Amino acid sequence: MKRSTISEVAKLAGVSRATVSKVFNNDEKISKKTRDKVLEIAKKLNYQPSAIARSLRNKKSKAIGLMLPNITNPFFPQVVRGVEEVALENNYVVIFCSFEEQFQKESQYFQLLDNRWIDGIIFSGVTGDKEEKEYIQNIQKRGIPIVFIDRGIEGHFSNLVAIDNEEATFKGTRYLIELGHKRIGFVNGPGEVKLFAKRLEGYKRALQESGLEFDKDLVVEGKQNPGVAEQAVKQFLSQKKPPTAIFATSDLVAIALLREVQNRGLGVPEDISIMGFDNVPLASLTSPSLTTVAQPIYKMGVEATKLLIDHIEKKETTKRKIILDTELVIRESTAKVEN
């Protein structure tokens, strides 16, 4: 079907092309009678104004960049779903970039988004790298708003949607203690990353408030991938008094721990309780199903996009930090300690 033009709408409505343009740009000087007539003709002709032409006039692309570190991690598809839903409701398109935790790829995406006249960026997976920080600050200096998910740049106040990481791990550790566990293994991400440092603090605080001693040999830190599970189980089970529970700050790692423990002939939760963090969809499908600290992942995407659009459209000018609640989801992988 041939696409209708602005000239055809103007001719049938008996107005100029400029008037049609003003109607679609919500010019308040156009009378209601003229506006209604133009919109009626446009509807009959199935006319839609060119988004490209409009973006050139308004200097707005109606496009949002979404940068994520690794789309294969089941945490991120839920973020994407939240972002896309709000973007679509507000007539924005999302340009998706997965940089696979590689700075070279990340910097290429930053340049690409900057050259594409993006209205704003949602970014999850900040590494804290000096060059990364410079890229982000340069983009912000040009007036392009950025909203961070999960963690922002150290020492730089930014728009951020996150959880209280210390409180979340405190909550999970305290639950294991309430089940009678006194030696709890803790498998965490890199300690130099503030997010994971906060999670370790929550674990330590729960032990301290329960009168339990912190044992550094019960802590394993490393990249949040399944490979760390083998190292952790080997370290924990080689001890004279192995832990009766393990808390991993990632569901993927917790699921890998579950498999490692079972492969060694031990039962979960009969011999060792295992707890995860995130509540990705896979957590409910393992055998046994995984107890976990649930992050509101979808809501993070929703709130980040709302905040970004508010900044793009100047409804919000002050940088904000939104902290969302976590929830303990109790399933089959944890149990009381057997005497």
Q: What's the rounded mean pLDDT across residues 225-252?
A: 95
What's residue 151's pLDDT? 84
**63-163+297-326 CATH choice from 3.20.20.140, 3.40.50.300, 3.40.50.2300, 3.40.50.11140:** 3.40.50.2300
What's residue 56's pLDDT? 45
The verdict on domain 6-49 having CATH code 1.10.260.40 is yes
The answer to pTM > 0.95 is no
What is the signed CA dihedral for 195, 197, 198, 201, rounded to 10 degrees? 160
Residue with tokens 């929830």: 327
Q: List, in order, residues 6 or more apart from 244 with CB less than 8 Å away.
A: 181, 182, 183, 184, 271, 272, 273, 337
Could you list the beta-strand ranges (E) of 143-192: 146-149, 159-163, 184-188
Question: In terms of DSSP bridges, do strands 184-188 and 159-163 run parallel, antiparallel, or are they unpaired?
Answer: unpaired
What's residue 25's pLDDT? 75
Give per-residue pLDDT as tens, 9-25: 899 889 998 898 888 77
> Could you state, in order of their start, the residue ranges of all structural domains in the chain?
6-49, 63-163+297-326, 165-295
Give per-residue pLDDT as tens, 108-119: 877 777 766 789
Q: What's the rounded mean pLDDT across residues 269-294?
A: 97
Question: For residue 6, what pLDDT band results from cuts at 50, 70 and 90?
Answer: confident
What's residue 54's pLDDT? 53
What's residue 104's pLDDT? 77
In the predicted structure, residue 55 carries a pLDDT above the cut 60:
no
What's residue 14's pLDDT? 92
What's residue 109's pLDDT? 79
- To the nearest whole percent, how much of the chain has pLDDT over 90? 62
Same fold, 63-163+297-326 and 165-295: yes
Q: What angle do CA 234, 228, 273 make, to 5 degrees?
A: 65
Label residue 215 exposed, middle or buried (CB < 10 Å: 0-12, 13-18, 19+). Answer: middle
Looking at residue 217, what DSSP letter applies? G
What's residue 156's pLDDT? 67
Question: For residue 334, what pLDDT band results from cuts at 50, 70 and 90?
Answer: very high
Q: What's the rounded mean pLDDT across residues 300-321?
A: 92
Q: What angle do CA 154, 157, 162 make, to 5 degrees?
A: 80
Q: What's the rounded mean pLDDT across residues 243-247?
A: 99
Give per-residue pLDDT as tens, 65-92: 999 998 888 899 999 999 999 999 999 9
Question: For residue 50, what pLDDT band results from cuts at 50, 70 and 90?
Answer: low
**Is there a contact between 332 and 177 (Cβ–Cβ < 8 Å)?**
no
Give per-residue pLDDT as tens, 140-199: 888 889 999 998 876 666 899 999 999 999 999 999 999 999 999 999 999 888 899 999
In the predicted structure, residue 27 carries a pLDDT above the cut 90:
no
What's residue 228's pLDDT? 92
**Superfamily of chain region 165-295:** Response regulator (3.40.50.2300)
